[in-house]
Amino acid sequence: ANAMFFFVGWHYVKQGYGMLMVDAVLKRKFFDNRDKKVLLVNSYVVWILAWLQTNTAVTQGKYYGLEYYTFAVPSWITNIALLAAVVSTAATVLMLINRWHRNGHALPYNGIVAYVASLYLWILIARINPLWLLVVPALHSLQYLAVVWRYQTNVERDVADAAQNPQPKVLSFLGPLYRLRVLGFIVGGGALGYLGFWLMPMAMTALIPYDKQVLGSSLFFFIVLIFINVHHY
């Protein structure tokens, strides 16, 4: 589980970077290669610092019923990472100010919000409050939904009959046909998500015997979470 948290942090910061790049393209406010390197280095440094901060002492924890351990990273390593994060953050701020001037006093602000949230709110300070730690994955998922919604809407709009009224007419309150198709896509995705990530693990936990003393009470939920994280790579 500790290793999973390590790689989850990598995924979160790279998604924040990706959201910034997508918004930059949409707004035609591009970053050059040097700017991108600054953003990426800052992402990696903040990610490493956040993980080191969770490994300041040897402790035992539980995640979905499975025990895991943190370890004691020497404080001087964490301090170096903290200094590096401060420097990389300052460099990122200066780069954004410079890019703001070059882009005619404009930036891809939505992307910057996604980048800042992913690095600092969801990774670096996520463990300040246990409740916030539960909220972070939901907010992370909303970033996915925003991109998928935009993409799928564009796909459906490109279909030849997208602007026609849906049939039967009782569905006309939804607007053009492409909206009905997007709604169907959302409902189908929600159903598949519930089936694969909740209902099936519950059923497998109830039907498949295993040693809960050794493997915990939520083995199949943990397997699903591992799958979700492994697929990123």
pLDDT at 11 (0 to 100) = 82
Distance from C-alpha of 88 to C-alpha of 9, rounded to nearest angstrom: 17
Distance from C-alpha of 72 to C-alpha of 91, rounded to nearest angstrom: 30
Distance from C-alpha of 108 to C-alpha of 29, rounded to nearest angstrom: 6
**pLDDT of 111 above 70:** yes
Where does the chain hold its CATH 1.10.287 domain(s)?
1-129
Distance from C-alpha of 42 to C-alpha of 45, rounded to nearest angstrom: 5
CA-CA distances (angstroms) from residue 54 to 72, 133, 186? 9, 13, 36
**pLDDT of 101 above 70:** yes
Query: Tokens 């780069």 sit at which residue?
Result: 95
- 208 vs 72, more confident: 208
Q: Which CATH number is associated with domain 1-129?
A: 1.10.287
**pLDDT of 151 above 80:** yes
Q: Quick count: other Cβ atoms within 10 Å of Cβ 163?
A: 11
H or E stretch at 25: helix 2-27
For the chain, what percent of residues have pLDDT higher than 90?
Answer: 30
The whole-model pTM stands at 0.74
- Residue type for 68, please? Y
